[in-house]
Structure 1
Amino acid sequence: MKKTIVLFLISFIAVKSFSQTKTIHVFVALCDNKNQGIVPVPKKLGNGQDPKNNLYWGALYGVKSFFKYKKKDWKMISTLKTNSSDILERVLFKHKTRDVYLLADAYDGKKIKTCTEDFLKASNHQNEENIITDSIKLKFGGASNLIAYVGHDGLMEFDVNIDYQKCKEKKKDVIILACFSKHYFSKEIKQANANPLLWTTNLMAPEAYTLDASITTWLKQSSSLQIKESAAKAYHKYQKCGMRGARSLFSSGF
């Protein structure tokens, strides 16, 4: 009897420990002057096939650079291979004080539609991905706790056709850092039955400081209004746009 109880406790502790591990999956469509309907940026920053120098990835405030060099509470633990030729680079980060892992994918800029569709499918609990690191099995894709999209709002230029599933699971929290994302993504996010934690009402620069502030506040189990406020403060800090303008740029929920 005692042996059974001990085994039960060990099993319970293991399950509890795993459930406390949080995963975040960030889908980044690399900035691409040639293949996206954007106001052109300097050639080096707008090469959608060059992650190293891309505005949304390897540049100063790109996702990879910002989390690797600017944030002391995150550590990049590996660059991972992927079976998709559309993803030019995949990196895995671990939070230094919390049991949280962040997986970021840099999609070829000309594959922005694929990136958008993969993000939307994940927000609908589809395309679960398992990654093993240090003997720990981590669940990303549709099994992530938080899903984020960073880049140009491609839905301004193309439509997607996704077979959304009816899900009984808890609505997936999503962040969409792209211009006018609330307007253009609303239909799809409703069909995906996801929870729009943060999206935008106007033009914006989808750089990583806003993503970082949002994630940091989300990890504290803060309200959507608190997450929105932290995003606005970060955006104003770097863009010098004024808090009034920053607050009106971001929105939570429908």
Structure 2
Amino acid sequence: MRVLFSIICIGLFACGSESISTTKNVSKLELPAKSNIPAFKFVTIKPLAFADSVTVRQDITSKLLNKKEEKKPLVVHAFVPLCDNEHQGIVPTTESLGNGFSLRSNLYWATSNGMKKYFQKRPWYHISENDFVANDTVLERVVFERHFEDCKVILICDAYRGDMMEPCLKDYLSSLAGLSEDSITYANTTVDLNKDVDMVVFNGHNGLMDVEIDPILRNPEERFFKRKDAVVIACASKSYFIPHFMKTNSYPLVTTTSLLYPGAFILNGIIDKWARMQSEEEIKNAAGDAYHEVKDCGQQAARNMFDTGW
């Protein structure tokens, strides 16, 4: 198990900060004298509660292969708490980038490496309309599709208000636990966000640094439960989220071991290898390679920022 550490090359881009591709005015970000960022806490990782890790991942890959053979799409559901200077323990960014209520300017949603804008400009096709209705917690849901050599991937991204970190975390873990009762319909296609989802992603500030969430146990009804790949693109996420993955009986496909900027390019790199059924190590390395390509902090250093498995 890797020791939790911070890599110097990415120190300026931790959590809420990015200084290269989103704004010319934020060239250097420093912690204030009295920072509101909580100190790291280390979590003792206990043995897996419901099944050994090999069995969990084999079950997932088997289902992915079956879906490919049946010409069914692979589905990724991403939970994105918008960057929020006021309500999250992040290195503050500019007022517009850190406005947790703005879909038009938010760092994690609307910038060149934000979730919505990034995937609009990639080989993904943006589905412009769906049946989702915005509410006080989730401001927007966007859907993208991409065709690979032997399958189609559907990516569903939910933008949570920046001050709604706790509901976002609970919804993320509930999805992994097989407790989601949500669905989405677009272009005559309906996706059940429980049984149809294969990978569940949390992308943003590590909210478990700020709030404690009671463990959410996997759905005891086998007919409603499906093991899923879990991804957390957030600062130092492994030690915080692993205990929760044990309870939801999901597999930690990609987690992080240090501070980083949660750009959408990381998820793009992960999906690219995942959809092609590459190994866990190759998927993890793809996350690091994508980070290095954008941040230029050294390939091996970037790869060491990510981990896979327990």
TM value normalised by structure 2: 0.72
| Residue 37 in structure 1 maps to residue 89 in structure 2 | yes
- CA 1:16–1:54: 2 relative to 1, 3 Å: closer
Give the C-alpha shift of residue 101 in structure 1: 1.2
Greater relative CO (CA pairs within 8 A, separation 6+): 2
- Tell me the equivalent position of 1:12: none
- Tell me the equivalent position of 2:143: 92
Greater helix share, structure number: 1
- CA 1:38–1:240: 2 relative to 1, 3 Å: same
| Residue 129 in structure 1 maps to residue 182 in structure 2 | yes
The separation in 1 between residues aligned to 2:207 and 2:126, in whole angstroms, is 29
| Residue 181 in structure 1 maps to residue 233 in structure 2 | no
| Residue 151 in structure 1 maps to residue 194 in structure 2 | no
- Tell me the equivalent position of 1:103: 156
Give the C-alpha shift of residue 59 in structure 1: 0.7
The separation in 2 between residues aligned to 1:38 and 1:217, in whole angstroms, is 30
Q: Which amino acid aligns with 2:266?
A: T
Fraction of identical pairs, as percent = 34
- Tell me the equivalent position of 1:10: none
Give the C-alpha shift of residue 109 in structure 1: 0.2
Give the C-alpha shift of residue 128 in structure 1: 3.5
Q: Which amino acid aligns with 1:90?
A: R
TM value normalised by structure 1: 0.88
The separation in 2 between residues aligned to 1:252 and 1:17, in whole angstroms, is 26
- Tell me the equivalent position of 1:139: 192
1:76-135 per-residue CA deviation (whole Å, 9 max, x = no partner) reads 112443364201111111114542211100000000111111111101111142222222
Q: Is the 8 A contact 1:24 1:147 kept in 2?
A: yes
| Residue 77 in structure 1 maps to residue 127 in structure 2 | yes
- CA 1:248–1:171: 2 relative to 1, 3 Å: same
1:184-230 per-residue CA deviation (whole Å, 9 max, x = no partner) reads 11111111111010010010100000010001110001111010111
Give the C-alpha shift of residue 171 in structure 1: 2.4
Task: Tell me which moved more, 15-24 or 158-167.
Answer: 15-24
- CA 1:41–1:83: 2 relative to 1, 3 Å: closer
The gaps in structure 2 that reach 5 residues or longer are 1-66
Q: Which amino acid aligns with 1:24?
A: V
Q: Is the 8 A contact 1:126 1:142 kept in 2?
A: no
The two structures, once aligned, show a CA RMSD in angstroms of 1.9
